Structure 1
């Protein structure tokens, strides 16, 4: 029996040795794997990980437009359905335009009337100008007649003086002197008549000038009336044109609340156009993550809907203030009980969407990771 025990003991010792060897090998292997993993993680952290800034507080956004009518009226027809893609310029809603077309026709008639009145005022102005020219010519003629009458008066006075001397010397008859005296009197009367005619012509010229001034005023009044009528025509045309509501940009119709036969008023929301092809990401990063962020840095975007299809983009811009500053009721930290809270700043990220990439929609939740490595470091890796 002692011999059997002695033979079994070496066998057990060999098995324990092999077990210890396996455990030692497993420990060495595990330690090596851990060291390699730690080394790989350290290398990744030093070269890449420490430059990556990530946040889950990010969403897809789009600058959608809510469309409202500029004029009141009944809806004649709704040209689009819910979730229908549209392009800029497509007709979305038509309002009944009978009243607005009638107002446009009335405004056009008033413009035609104002133009006719303006033409009449222009004709009156031309008549007044011709009347002034006529009076000026009449004044020239009256002045010439006055000069002639003065010259005739002077000649008659000299004749009378000469015949008076001849009568005194018995060189002429008294009858001849009386004829010369009568001619002098007639010449004096002619001078007075031509002076009166000249004064009359000057008075008529002043009247013609006043009429011309009145014609000018009427012309300006008619020009103002035409401008007013044309402005009303433009407004009527704009109102008639605004009965057709068109898409301001490419997008998809949403929030369609308008129906045919409905009465709408200016400013009433009818539907929205969402430019899904112009979607972007707004990521709210902590202020402690912004130290090395710059516009143009690459971003990896993982949409919750398409978790296995990462998208890529670029940092576009940073908000000029934190979200708390733009809040309706911003917090007031000037109190005795103050707790420091890390603020978040919205960062706009533009998508580099490939043609065959996933279709992202505004409102989807995403996870963004910004690579803040310097360009030379990123290129090296």
Structure 2
């Protein structure tokens, strides 16, 4: 075997050994690490904010794109004059209804007092009449007793007069006494019937007074109706106050203004986006790992991250979550294979990676990164 053949054979053997070593290292690397470049920087929260329940012309926008805002900072403002005028009108209506309700309360109180006074007055008058009636009945009983005796005397004197045993004057005296008693009884009974009539009239007057209670019931019903209207208006006032507060758009989170969608002077409604705020403090890497590489990847595995923009920047992280379905499953329009047309493609499983080490201030939302997940 000549020298050249030996050299060539040696080079070949060395190359095979080197290739075998590299292949071994590469296979070992693939066994230990799951790698992909289908990974992107995401934010835990990106808020596209808009005015709540109000519409109008933007009077001022207080932020610019790229500006950092804190939660509660005023982002933009709509002219609230129309809502202030509405609130003023509602307050005026409430005061008017409250005044009307106060007037009803006074009227109800006055009628109640009048009813109580009149009832007490009638009761006293009725009591006096009944006492007078009792006295008249006593007098009538007394006169009846006298009449019974005088009638007997009259009958006896009449028999005696007819026999000539008593004088005509004596008989006339007893007859006159009988007549007087009868007249007295008639007068007393007339007075008694008058009192009975008055007592009956008192009952009717008492009933008429009690009828006024129906008026009170109607007034109370009207008062309740006014109260309901007032409560409704007060609720509307509170709602209008909320609308006035909603004319100032406030940042719901701390973050950076990523995009402005409107400017001062723009007419907007409650569905018009004004700005987008990105939470840059809580970011993570979203990894779309091929299903063929998912085996052996678990929560808590260490992850090495390299941004596409600068391969010299290095970050570390850990697997925080492995989604239970492929990325295609969450698509708005899922792939339709019912027609029988099917091309096999490797599905990708979304994995959320928390960034634990590195300057996250250099990262931007949506930036592509390469990841190595150590199994």
Q: Distance in 2 between matches of 1:184 and 1:249?
A: 98
Counterpart position of 1:4: none
Q: CA offset at residue 220 of structure 1?
A: 1.0
1:221 match: secondary structure: helix
Distance 1:37 1:345, change over 3 A: closer
* TM-score (ref. length: structure 1): 0.77
> Is 1:183–2:188 an aligned residue pair?
yes
Counterpart position of 1:12: none
Is the radius of gyration larger for structure 1 or structure 2? 2
Counterpart position of 1:11: none
Q: CA offset at residue 330 of structure 1?
A: 1.5
Distance 1:35 1:245, change over 3 A: closer
Q: Distance in 1 between matches of 2:32 and 2:104?
A: 80
Q: Distance in 1 between matches of 2:30 and 2:118?
A: 100
1:290-349 deviation per Cα after TM superposition (whole angstroms, max 9, x unaligned): 454444444333222343333233333344543323323322223334333332232233
Q: CA offset at residue 37 of structure 1?
A: 7.7
Q: CA offset at residue 231 of structure 1?
A: 2.5
Aligned residues: CA RMSD: 3.5
Counterpart position of 2:48: 66
1:222-241 deviation per Cα after TM superposition (whole angstroms, max 9, x unaligned): 11121122123223323322
Contact 1:156–1:187 (CA<8 Å) still a contact in 2? Answer: no
1:110-153 deviation per Cα after TM superposition (whole angstroms, max 9, x unaligned): 23223323333333343344345445535643653464355345
Q: CA offset at residue 270 of structure 1?
A: 2.2
What aligned pairs does 1:119-138 form with structure 2 within 5 A after superposition?
119-134=102-117, 136-138=119-121
Contact 2:322–2:351 (CA<8 Å) still a contact in 1? Answer: yes
Gap regions ≥5 residues in structure 1: 1-15, 373-381
Q: Distance in 1 between matches of 2:270 and 2:221?
A: 40
Q: CA offset at residue 59 of structure 1?
A: 1.0
Alignment match of 2:335 (pick from 314, 331, 336): 331
Q: Distance in 2 between matches of 1:137 and 1:296?
A: 90
Q: CA offset at residue 56 of structure 1?
A: 1.8
1:332-378 deviation per Cα after TM superposition (whole angstroms, max 9, x unaligned): 22333433333223223333356x55422211012233344xxxxxx
Q: CA offset at residue 164 of structure 1?
A: 2.0
Contact 2:143–2:181 (CA<8 Å) still a contact in 1? Answer: no
What aligned pairs does 1:33-182 form with structure 2 within 5 A after superposition?
41=25, 45=28, 50=31, 52-62=33-43, 63-70=45-52, 71-134=54-117, 136-138=119-121, 140-141=123-124, 144-145=127-128, 147-170=130-153, 173-174=177-178, 175-182=180-187
1:10-42 deviation per Cα after TM superposition (whole angstroms, max 9, x unaligned): xxxxxx9xxx9xx99x99999998998888x49
Contact 1:146–1:194 (CA<8 Å) still a contact in 2? Answer: yes
> Is 1:235–2:239 an aligned residue pair?
yes
Q: CA offset at residue 275 of structure 1?
A: 1.3
Counterpart position of 1:365: 368
* TM-score (ref. length: structure 2): 0.78
Q: Distance in 2 between matches of 1:196 and 1:301?
A: 105
Contact 1:301–1:368 (CA<8 Å) still a contact in 2? Answer: yes
Matched positions, count: 346
1:159-195 deviation per Cα after TM superposition (whole angstroms, max 9, x unaligned): 3421221221339823134223312321222122112
Contact 2:119–2:209 (CA<8 Å) still a contact in 1? Answer: no
Tell me which of the two structures has the higher relative contact order, counting C-alpha pairs closer than 8 angstroms and 6 or more residues apart: 2
Contact 1:300–1:310 (CA<8 Å) still a contact in 2? Answer: yes
